[in-house]
Amino acid sequence: MELSWVTVATPLPSGPMKFGVTADGVAAATYAGETFAGRPVGVPECGDARKRSLVEARVGEYFAGRRTELELPIDWRFTTGPQLAVLRCLLTEVPYGRTTTYGELATRSGVFDDLPEPGLPARTVGQMMGANPLPLLVPCHRVVAADGLGGFGGAWHGVEVKRWLLTLEGVLPPTLDWSGPTG
């Protein structure tokens, strides 16, 4: 696996993000993970200045409020089957500033059309979002529970990261302590 890493400073409660790049595009992203696919995150660092600059610029512009789509090439190697179908549906059908529920995404994707058990598709989509290898690029933060924000990773900062991103995108109103761009 030829995966090298670009670290980008962010204003998120979780700190910098790391993006795993390949010859085909960005294949992985993590908010604060230390391992990915059983290997240390951040090692080796990306030596391709063009790729590194592109990722740093686009992600920086997004966090500064100057870009609504990252428009980075995606390498889908770490997802297949139904998860890939759901993630592609999310990427193409839920734009910046919008949200969808786990159940709505399950329906939109068409992946679960033959499942008779109510609630199972929404729970399965929740698990797929938790295993999304490309957070931010494939905006799983835009998928919410029918009755609130829902989860976002198992770490202490998960829901706060989701709240921050949805505030940046205008879905949620800023709180008095929000540290996002001022305009």
Q: Which residues are catalytic?
A: 140
Tokens of 169: 């995108």
Peptide bond into 44 cis (omega under 30): yes
CB atoms within 10 A of CB 125: 29
d(CA 26, CA 3): 9
CB atoms within 10 A of CB 29: 27
Cβ–Cβ under 8 Å, residues 170 and 117: no
